[in-house]
């Protein structure tokens, strides 16, 4: 049984809510948590009741208990907030955080026995079952467009709050850039690096090698770096060098001016973040979509129209696990719908649909049902 199957079961309505931990305590799961898109624990913001005491935190899922240590979670501060370790088999040492706190473990096999395989199969079937509310291509496009604009607004709001809180616009963007370059496994360490070596200092350098050496020395003091399950191009070293190259590239003018000028030719937004051998096409698209456009909207709301045109024109970022699953549920069997995945902003709409409705699940409130206000492409943000 794959770890992905166990995660699908934990998130599904077939998951049993009452368990006993390996330590002998009764556990009641009020909410399994939100499935994570990126680095860190598999589920966040779960609500678990331990012996009548309600706790909120993260949940990590593995096949074996020993995988916690094998994957390096015992020395990774990102897992300090895990309140429950869910495993298939309780083999291996007990899970402990970097600070030495023991994490309660439940074994699905011990709790559910012969029922587990059937429940996991039902959860997998439901996860891949075509959505019964999926409308024709044109209506689906309108709904996803609206959801994508809401996602853009939400990302812009994060930048706006940081800047209103006293952070300089350049530093806010620089931190967002570092996070995006961290890919899935190293988002938080890259963010900590950008805070430890801020843009105000990085931009004083003119030699990339000199700045890279300083960044690498600074990175050695940041905890939580990971190469487990990561392809070599996404290892920390090339991404840290990529951040130093981009800091040099934008050192004279800062970030806002070049980004605003690039709105006229959205393809240039991607080109701005390409660094040969360090930041490739896929990651540059991720930065343009998830960092650059929300940042411009936050700092220059008067350019909303230009931002939205670029938002709807950019090439798509690479598919992830959630996008592949949503494609199977909504797009796979309809050629008109399938073409929607070729557009970046509609992929963003799919991600928003998943996190706000499909995962919870809130099917009765789903905008694809056609109930309530009809989803239309927004012209303002």
**DSSP per-residue codes, 335-375:** HHHHGGGGSHHHHHHHHHHIIIIITTT-GGG-GGG--SSPP
* Cis upstream peptide for 361 (omega within 30°): yes
Contact 247, 203 (CB under 8 A): yes
In the numeric block, the tokens 């800091």 are attached to 247
Residues 72 and 96 in one domain: yes
Domain boundary (128, 153, 186) is at 128
Residues 312 and 370 in one domain: yes
pLDDT number for residue 115: 84
Residues 250 and 278 in one domain: yes
pLDDT number for residue 135: 78
Phi and psi, residue 93, nearest 5°: -70, 160
Query: Could you tell me whether strands 82-89 and 43-50 are parallel, antiparallel, or unpaired per DSSP bridges?
Result: unpaired
Sign of CA dihedral 208, 211, 213, 218: negative
Residues 165 and 122 in one domain: no
Per residue of the chain (381 residues), what is the pLDDT tens digit? 888 888 888 887 666 788 999 989 999 998 888 888 666 899 988 999 998 899 999 999 999 999 999 988 998 888 999 999 999 999 999 999 989 999 999 999 899 888 888 888 877 777 667 777 777 667 888 889 999 999 999 999 999 999 999 999 999 999 999 999 998 778 889 999 999 999 999 999 999 999 999 999 999 999 878 776 667 777 889 999 999 999 999 999 999 999 999 999 989 999 999 999 899 999 999 999 999 999 999 999 999 999 999 999 999 988 887 888 788 777 766 666 667 778 899 999 999 998 888 877 787 888 887 633 343 334 444
Contact 315, 285 (CB under 8 A): yes
Q: Whole domain around residue 46: which residue ranges?
A: 3-128
Residues 58 and 136 in one domain: no
pLDDT number for residue 243: 98
Residues 183 and 272 in one domain: yes
pLDDT number for residue 65: 96
How buried is 343 (Cβ within 10 angstroms: 0-12 exposed, 13-18 middle, 19+ buried)?
buried
Structure-token pair, residue 169: 């616009």
Residues 110 and 123 in one domain: yes
Rg value, the chain, Cα = 22
Residues 272 and 251 in one domain: yes
Domain boundary (128, 157, 181) is at 128
In the numeric block, the tokens 């798509």 are attached to 316
Rounded Cα distance, 61 and 81, in Å: 14
Q: Which helix (H) or strand (E) holds 322?
A: helix 321-330
Contact 323, 350 (CB under 8 A): yes
Residues 378 and 232 in one domain: yes
Residues 65 and 141 in one domain: no
Domain boundary (82, 111, 128) is at 128
Query: Could you tell me whether strands 18-20 and 26-31 are parallel, antiparallel, or unpaired per DSSP bridges?
Result: antiparallel
End-to-end CA distance of the chain: 44
How buried is 317 (Cβ within 10 angstroms: 0-12 exposed, 13-18 middle, 19+ buried)?
buried
Contact 67, 13 (CB under 8 A): no
Contact 220, 257 (CB under 8 A): no
Count structural domains, the chain: 2
Contact 123, 8 (CB under 8 A): yes
Residues 261 and 281 in one domain: yes
Angle at 165 (CA atoms; ends 197, 202), nearest 5 degrees: 20
pLDDT number for residue 263: 96
Q: Which residues contact 346 (CB under 8 A, 6 or more apart)?
A: 141, 144, 145, 148, 340
Residues 216 and 86 in one domain: no
Angle at 121 (CA atoms; ends 231, 368), nearest 5 degrees: 80
Rounded Cα distance, 256 and 196, in Å: 22
> CA 79 → CA 34, 42, 57, 187, 253, distances in Å?
15, 10, 10, 13, 38
Angle at 243 (CA atoms; ends 323, 218), nearest 5 degrees: 120
Sign of CA dihedral 356, 362, 364, 369: positive
**Nearest residue to 373 (alpha-carbon basis) of 355, 365, 257:** 365
SS3 106: strand
């Amino acid at each position: 049984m794959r770890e992905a199957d166990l995660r699908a079961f934990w998130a599904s309505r077939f998951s049993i809510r009452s368990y006993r931990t390996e330590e002998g305590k009764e556990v009641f799961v009020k909410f399994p948590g939100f499935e994570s898109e990126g680095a860190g624990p598999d589920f966040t913001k779960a609500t678990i009741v331990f012996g009548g005491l309600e706790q909120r935190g993260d949940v990590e899922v593995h096949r074996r208990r020993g995988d916690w240590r094998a994957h390096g979670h015992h020395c990774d501060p990102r897992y300090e907030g895990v309140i429950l370790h869910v495993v298939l088999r309780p083999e291996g040492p007990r899970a402990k955080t970097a600070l030495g706190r023991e994490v309660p473990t439940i074994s699905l096999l011990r709790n559910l026995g012969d029922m587990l395989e059937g429940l996991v199969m039902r959860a997998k079937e439901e996860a891949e079952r075509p959505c019964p509310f999926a409308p024709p291509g044109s209506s689906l496009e309108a709904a996803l467009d609206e959801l994508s604009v809401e996602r853009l607004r939400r990302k812009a709001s994060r930048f706006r709050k940081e800047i209103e809180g006293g952070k300089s616009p350049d530093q806010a963007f620089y931190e967002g850039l570092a996070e995006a370059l961290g890919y899935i496994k190293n988002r938080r360490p890259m963010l900590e690096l950008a805070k430890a070596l801020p843009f105000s200092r990085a931009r004083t350098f003119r030699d990339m090698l000199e700045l890279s050496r300083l960044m690498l020395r600074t990175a050695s003091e940041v905890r939580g770096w990971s190469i487990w399950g990561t392809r070599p191009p996404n290892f920390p070293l090339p991404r840290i060098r990529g951040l130093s190259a981009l800091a040099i590239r934008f050192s004279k003018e800062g970030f806002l001016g070049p980004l605003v000028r690039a709105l006229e030719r959205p393809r240039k937004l991607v080109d701005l973040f390409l660094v040969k051998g360090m930041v490739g096409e896929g990651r540059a698209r991720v930065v343009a979509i998830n960092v650059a456009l929300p940042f411009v909207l936050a700092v220059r709301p008067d350019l909303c129209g230009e931002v939205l045109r670029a938002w709807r024109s950019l090439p798509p970022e690479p598919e992830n696990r959630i996008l592949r699953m949503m494609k199977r549920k909504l797009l796979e069997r309809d050629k008109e719908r399938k073409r929607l995945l070729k557009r970046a902003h509609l992929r963003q709409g799919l991600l928003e649909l998943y996190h706000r409705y499909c995962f919870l699940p809130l099917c009765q409130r789903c905008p694809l049902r056609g109930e309530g206000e009809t989803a239309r492409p927004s012209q303002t943000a």
